[in-house]
Each structure stands twice: as C-alpha cells, then as structure tokens.
Amino acid sequence: MHFELFEELIVVLALAIGIILLFRRFKLPGVLGFIIAGMIAGPHGLGWVAAVEEVEVLAEMGVIFLLFVIGMEFSLKKLASIGVTVFVGGTLQALLTTLFVTGVGRLLGLSLPAAVFTGFLITLSSTAIVLRILQEKGRMDSPFGRTSAAILIFQDILVVPMMLLTPMLAGKSKDIGHDLLLLAGKMLLLVAAVYIAGRFVVPRLLRTVSKGRNKELFLITIVVLCFAAAWGTSALGLSLALGAFFAGLIISETDQAYQATGIVQPFHELFMSFFFVSIGMLVDPALFADKPFTVLGLALTVVVVKIVATFLSVWVLRKPVQTALLTGLALFQVGEFSFVLAISGIASGLLTREHHQLFLAVSILTMGATPFALQYADDIVRRVFTVFLPRSVAERLDRMMRVRREEEKSDRRILKDHVVIIGFGLNGQNVARAAQSSKIRCAVIEEDPDLAALATSRGLHVVQGDATNDHVLEKAHVEQARVVVVAIADAEATRRIVSRVRSHTTAHLIVRTRYVREIDANLGLGANEVIPEEFETSIEIFHRVLRKYLVTEPQIQEITAHFRNAHYGPMRGAMAKSNTTGIAPDLLGMEIATIPVTLGRTRIVGHTLAQADLRGRFGVTVLAIRRQGRTLTHIEGTEKIRPDDLLYVLGTPDSVVRLNAALS
C-alpha cells in the first residue's frame, strides 16, 4: 500500500464531501463537486496530490466499471421499444453537431481530423446529470423527457464506435482499408464471443453461482467476467472499456442482471468519483482568469450549436417545436463520456494539451449551467426562444411537419398499487395465487433461480436477486406498491430486508416469521404486521380440534378472532405508543374489510343502516356499499342493506368476523 496515495485520497475525498454538500444546497450536480475537488487539490491548484498517476489508474477502473454498468443496463428490447427516436433522432443529432463543430473548428484553425474529433467530444451530453434532474423534477414521462432519454441512450452506445474510429482519424493507419477490414474482423470475433458467452456460458455460470446464495462468490464472479472481457479486448488491440461494455451486455440478457447491477453499482460510483477527481486535476484554474472571454465564448458557441442541432433532429421526428426546443435545452452540455473520449484523443495526438484545457473548462461551465437551465426550461422557451422563433412561426413549422401532439403520460407497464412478494416459497406462492385470483397485480423478488423461473411461468413480474439490494427493489417498483409481503425463512435476512424496504416505501409491510419472539425486532424496523408461524399453527390446530367436537363454524371463527385479537392486540398497542404518523392511536387496531351480504339475520338484510345498528351491535362502521357495479360512498342512515351488496366496513378483526358470520 502506498501510504502517500492513501493519505492523498483521504484529503481529496474529504474535500469532495464538503464541496458536494455545498453544491447540494445550490442544487448543483455532484459530478462537478468531484471535478472542483480535483482542481483545488491537484497540481494546478494547491498541490495537495502529487501521486496523480496512481489516481489516474483508479480513474481507469472507474471508466471500466462505467462501461460495464452501461452494458448491463443496455437492453435490445428497451432500445427497440424507443425505436425511431433512438436511431433517427440520435443519428441526426450526432451528425449535425459534429458537422457544425467541425465547421467552427476549421474556422478557428484546427486541422480536419482534430475538428471532427472535437465534434465527437461536443456531441455527447451528460446522461448522469440530465436523467437525474429529470427524475427529481418528475419530467421523465413528459414528451421532451422521453425524447431526451432516447437520444442519451443512443449517445452512450455511440461512444463505442467513436473510440474505435479515433486512432484511424488520427492517421495512425498506413492502410485505412486494411485496418478497417481488420477492425471489422475483430468486431465480428467479439460479436461471436458475446453470442456464445451470452447464449451458452454466462447464463449457466451465473445460474449455478446464484443457487448457492453466496453473495461473495456472486460478486467475485461478476468482477472476474468484467475484467476478463476487458483484458480480452485489450489483447485484441482494442480498449479495456470496450470489453467491459460487452461483458455488461452479456450479463444484461441473464436473469441475474438486476442483482449484478446492484452489486457493481457501489464500485462503479466509487471509482467514477476518482475518475472525475482525476479530470479536475488536469484543469488549470488559471485558465478561467487568463482567458475568460475565450472560455465563455466557446461555451456559448457549444450551447448554441447543440441546441440548434438537437432542435432540428427532434423537429424532423415530427415533434412539436416546443418539445424540440426543450430537448435542445436539456442536452446542450458536454457529457462525462466526452472526458473518456478526450483521453483517447490526447493519446492519439488529435487533442493538444492546450485545447484539452479549453475543452475541460467549457465542459465544466456547460455542466454547471444545466441544472439552472432545466429549472427554468419552460420560461426560457417561452421568453427567450420566442424572440427568435415567434409563436406564429412555430405553429407554421408544426403544420409543415404535421407534428403529432403528445401528452405527458406515464408508462403503463410500470407496476403501481401492486403487492410485492419477497420470497416465492410456499407462503409466497399462496399469497401470489390469492392475489392473482383477485386480479391484484404482483411482483415477486426471489433469489433462487428455480423458484424465480416458477414465478415467471405463472405470469408474474419477477426480479431475480437479493431484496436487500436497492437496485432489485427499484426494479420491483417497491416504492409504488400498496403492500409488501416478506415471506422468507431466514430471520436475520428478514430483518435486513424489512429495513431496506422501509427506507424505500411507506407501503403496508407484512412480515412472516417463524417464532413469536421475532415480532418486536421486525416491528421496530418498520413492519406494520408480523405473522409468526408458531402462533398461526396453534390456531389451525385448535380450529380442527373444535371441528371434531362439532362446534359450529361461526363459533370457531369468533373464537379464532378473539385469540388473534388477544395475541396481536398488544402488538397494535405497542405500535400506538410509538405512533409518529399523526393517525389516532385507536385506529391502529382497526382494519378495513369487505363483507358480502347473502341472507343473514332478518334484522340486517332488508333493513336500513339505522335499523340494523351495525355500529352498536357489532362495533363496525359502514364506509361504502358496492351494488350492481356501482359504489355508493355517501351513505345515509336510511340506506337499506340488500342481498348481494358488498359492504366496506371499518372495525376490529373480531367485530368484522362476527358481522361476517351474521351475514353469511
């Protein structure tokens, strides 16, 4: 261990923490915080870091993990679903931006290869910054949000061919035709390797590894696959990052993709922080003071070029002018992948150190301006762009392209108001079967490949992985669930899952445990209800005993409700004492139930609610009545209870059971 590097990393990361906390107050992206930390601590700043080369090695690891994660999140099905927006819009945006920047570069005296390469750098926008801001502002499902995301996906993929073309653009090739054929051969070899590994080797390997439920073994396997692929492409004379991308692409088609992404994500974020710090160390802060007008002028040129290029690309897709302008405003910055590509440009001689400094300065300014531009995007379009593009002109342009009006909409495929079942053993299967029979949507989280396959065969939305993994929980849309059921046997794992689930959602959390003694711990971690198997087993036993003594079913149900209330009542009392939700403590022991009306006692069916006096006799309150396909919510005392009604009532579990017995 190089203690000098160790000390310097502590200093830089501690500085980054302080800067990012400050940036959060002003809603600036964390990426800039790491870059500024590198600028301050680097050789051009205060000189606190001398081991720049060692930091760059860690940064290289960050690039590998970045491409690896992009590959795992890349899906051919997802790409096909976005379709024409990706290929047509993304290609047009890249071509127009590169063309415009090449022209400006030539006017500024750059050689043609250097100008084209600069166009490559400027083309790429920041996926990390833009998508995070759109998500925070709830604009991902807006027309311009969906269009921006589609173009960003295409740009992320475009980095790979750009990296391959850079050496040829630099004139490193003596025979371009021969080198293109050689490159095509290498790519065909890679595609064949990806197909074989993705179809026959990796799925079986990950399935075998995941069966053991050994997290350390799974982590090592994923990292080895990433580094082995990176080494393989490096041996072919291609970049390490390209191999990592293909490794991620292979894993993305396996059932373990979500689990793998969640495991690698912390490493990716850690090493990417080193990458951005290393970029900051390359920046000379004096440049902003020495050439302020040059930096600002170039930054404004980049912003204008990218907005115009993106506007034209989106407008050609028959999107409204406003959507095209908002998309241009979202994608005007230079992205993090441009930093990766710039390193290749320096090595190839396409980018001089001086031009690299200018590029970094411009990139930092455009990235820093992005949050503010998106914050006031609608106002900017309305007040600024209308000066150059009046409303009447915009309307004529829309009519010219016969644009298709779009509305903000959410993706219907995203699960909402569903039940998430964690663990697909016998208990989980029974819960899923009951939910499906009641037409309630389900998502299943299961680590065992065989059980996950079983859930998939039953038509359920399945996420294979560990439920303590945040990425796995997100893919099950746990934050939008109404109920989460934890139905696994491991007591320690259950507690960890309850803690992670509660940090994501306020959904009603029901936990299955084996023993009564495990109730308090799970309640303390945020569970709403804990069902111990040993207690429920004892109830089933006496239920069957009483049947043998010919006790009537309503009596048995009443006794069962009494026992359950006596057992779970103290639990509800404990919850009431620690109630921080603002709900009246008395209501925490109540539940809402649906009771069908058949015949029942003559004092209920056919009588008004006032005559039946359900509150006085049973202790329940009628909230609504479902009758002949209609729901009556404004209930008066004169409303009659009729056969085939469904009563939605509020009461304690035993009072609900007694009323149900009276109506059945």
CATH of the domain at 656: 3.30.70.1450
* DSSP per-residue letters across 264-284: HHHHHHHHHHHHHHHHHHH--
Give the Cβ contact number of residue 219 at 10 Å. 16
- Work out the end-to-end distance of the chain between its first and last CA atoms, rounded to an integer number of angstroms: 75
Report percent pLDDT > 70 for the chain.
83
| Residue given tokens 């970049």 in the structure block | 239
Residue 295 has pLDDT above 50, yes or no: yes
User: Judging by DSSP bridges, how do beta strands 508-513 and 591-596 pair with one another?
Assistant: unpaired
- Distance in angstroms (rounded) separating the CA atoms of residues 431 and 421: 8
> Could you tell me if residue 555 is inside a domain?
yes
Residue 26 has pLDDT above 80, yes or no: no
List, for residues 571-597, the tens digit of each pLDDT value.
Answer: 555 444 444 444 444 555 567 788 888
Phi/psi at 237 (5° precision): 90, 10
List, for residues 3-16, the tens digit of each pLDDT value.
Answer: 556 677 777 778 88
Residue 59 has pLDDT above 60, yes or no: yes
What's the half-sphere exposure (Cβ side, CA atoms, 13 Å) at 471?
Answer: 16
SS3 460: coil
- What's the confidence (pLDDT) of residue 165? 80
Tokens of 304: 């204008």
Residue 56 has pLDDT above 80, yes or no: no
Query: Distance of CA 30 to CAs 20, 24, 156, 276, Å?
Result: 6, 8, 20, 10
- Distance in angstroms (rounded) separating the CA atoms of residues 482 and 416: 8
Same domain assignment for residues 606 and 510? no
Same domain assignment for residues 595 and 484? no
Beta bridge partners of 422: 445, 486
- What's the confidence (pLDDT) of residue 589? 58
Please, are residues 497 and 515 in contact by the beta-carbon 8 Å criterion?
Answer: no
Residue 90 has pLDDT above 80, yes or no: yes
- What's the confidence (pLDDT) of residue 408? 44
> Could you tell me if residue 227 is inside a domain?
yes
- What's the confidence (pLDDT) of residue 580? 43
Beta bridge partners of 547: none
Please, are residues 129 and 370 in contact by the beta-carbon 8 Å criterion?
Answer: yes
Phi/psi at 404 (5° precision): -100, 115
Higher-confidence position of 205 and 275: 205
Sheet hosting strand 483-486, strand order edge to edge: 461-464, 442-446, 419-422, 483-486, 508-513, 529-532
Please, are residues 457 and 449 in contact by the beta-carbon 8 Å criterion?
Answer: no
- Distance in angstroms (rounded) separating the CA atoms of residues 257 and 249: 10
Average pLDDT of the chain, as a whole number? 79
Total number of domains in the chain: 3
pTM of whole model > 0.75? no
Same domain assignment for residues 231 and 353? yes
At 443, which CATH number? 3.40.50.720
Beta bridge partners of 317: none
Reported confidence tier of residue 485, pLDDT bands at 50, 70, 90: very high
Please, are residues 465 and 258 in contact by the beta-carbon 8 Å criterion?
Answer: yes
Higher-confidence position of 253 and 355: 355
- Distance in angstroms (rounded) separating the CA atoms of residues 50 and 177: 44
Last residue of a domain, one of 554, 577, 600: 577
| Residue given tokens 């690299």 in the structure block | 356
- What's the confidence (pLDDT) of residue 443? 93
Same domain assignment for residues 116 and 240? yes
Average pLDDT over residues 543-567: 72
> Could you tell me if residue 412 is inside a domain?
no
Same domain assignment for residues 170 and 262? yes
DSSP code, position 480: G
- What's the confidence (pLDDT) of residue 576? 45
Higher-confidence position of 344 and 358: 358
Please, are residues 604 and 662 in contact by the beta-carbon 8 Å criterion?
Answer: yes
Reported confidence tier of residue 100, pLDDT bands at 50, 70, 90: very high
Please, are residues 444 and 463 in contact by the beta-carbon 8 Å criterion?
Answer: yes
In 3-state terms the chain splits into helix, strand, coil percentages (rounded to 5) of 70, 10, 25
> Could you tell me if residue 109 is inside a domain?
yes
Same domain assignment for residues 163 and 232? yes
Residue 405 has pLDDT above 70, yes or no: no
Last residue of a domain, one of 551, 577, 603: 577
Last residue of a domain, one of 542, 577, 612: 577
> Could you tell me if residue 186 is inside a domain?
yes
Higher-confidence position of 412 and 62: 62
Same domain assignment for residues 529 and 633? no
Residue 492 has pLDDT above 80, yes or no: yes
Please, are residues 256 and 465 in contact by the beta-carbon 8 Å criterion?
Answer: yes
Same domain assignment for residues 51 and 76? yes
List, for residues 367-380, the tens digit of each pLDDT value.
Answer: 888 888 888 888 88
> Could you tell me if residue 413 is inside a domain?
no
Average pLDDT over residues 417-436: 89
Higher-confidence position of 653 and 372: 372
- What's the confidence (pLDDT) of residue 644? 81
- What's the confidence (pLDDT) of residue 363? 87
| Residue given tokens 């990012």 in the structure block | 20
Burial class (CB in 10 A: 0-12, 13-18, 19+), 256: buried
Please, are residues 553 and 609 in contact by the beta-carbon 8 Å criterion?
Answer: no
User: Judging by DSSP bridges, how do beta strands 508-513 and 483-486 pair with one another?
Assistant: parallel
- Distance in angstroms (rounded) separating the CA atoms of residues 61 and 56: 9
* DSSP per-residue letters across 507-550: SEEEEEESSGGGHHHHHHTT-SEEEEHHHHHHHHHHHHHHHHTT
Same domain assignment for residues 181 and 110? yes
CA 552, 556, 559, 561 dihedral sign is: negative
Higher-confidence position of 318 and 443: 443
Pick from 424, 420, 568: which is nearest to 487 by CA? 424
Average pLDDT over residues 182-209: 79
Please, are residues 306 and 367 in contact by the beta-carbon 8 Å criterion?
Answer: no
- What's the confidence (pLDDT) of residue 582? 45
- What's the confidence (pLDDT) of residue 388? 66
> Could you tell me if residue 403 is inside a domain?
no
Beta bridge partners of 595: 647
Tokens of 183: 């490159």
Tokens of 116: 């084209």
Residue 429 has pLDDT above 80, yes or no: yes
Residue 99 has pLDDT above 90, yes or no: yes
Q: Which residues in 312-347 are b (16+ Cβ under 10 Å) and which e?
A: ebbbebebbbbbbbbbbbbbbbbbbbbbbbbbbbee
Q: Which bin fits 477, alpha (ψ -120 to 50), beta or left (φ > 0)?
A: left
Residue 304 has pLDDT above 80, yes or no: yes
Give the Cβ contact number of residue 268 at 10 Å. 20
- What's the confidence (pLDDT) of residue 392? 67
Please, are residues 257 and 469 in contact by the beta-carbon 8 Å criterion?
Answer: no
> Could you tell me if residue 476 is inside a domain?
yes
Same domain assignment for residues 364 and 426? no
At 363, which CATH number? 1.20.1530.20
* DSSP per-residue letters across 307-351: HHHHHHHHHHTT--HHHHHHHHHHT-SPPHHHHHHHHHHHHHTSS
Average pLDDT over residues 322-326: 84
Please, are residues 653 and 617 in contact by the beta-carbon 8 Å criterion?
Answer: no
Residue 460 has pLDDT above 50, yes or no: yes
Reported confidence tier of residue 401, pLDDT bands at 50, 70, 90: low
- Distance in angstroms (rounded) separating the CA atoms of residues 647 and 598: 11
Residue 409 has pLDDT above 60, yes or no: no
Query: Distance of CA 240 to CAs 91, 245, 483, 508, Å?
Result: 25, 9, 44, 46
Same domain assignment for residues 558 and 512? yes
List, for residues 32-52, the tens digit of each pLDDT value.
Answer: 788 888 888 877 777 777 666
Please, are residues 226 and 244 in contact by the beta-carbon 8 Å criterion?
Answer: yes
Average pLDDT over residues 171-181: 65
Which amino acid belongs to residue 484? V
- Distance in angstroms (rounded) separating the CA atoms of residues 85 and 323: 13
Residue 420 has pLDDT above 90, yes or no: yes
The strand ranges marked E within 393-533 are: 419-422, 442-446, 461-464, 483-486, 508-513, 529-532
User: Judging by DSSP bridges, how do beta strands 621-627 and 646-651 pair with one another?
Assistant: antiparallel
SS3 645: coil
- Domain assignment of residue 628, given as a range: 590-662
Higher-confidence position of 607 and 268: 607
Same domain assignment for residues 275 and 160? yes
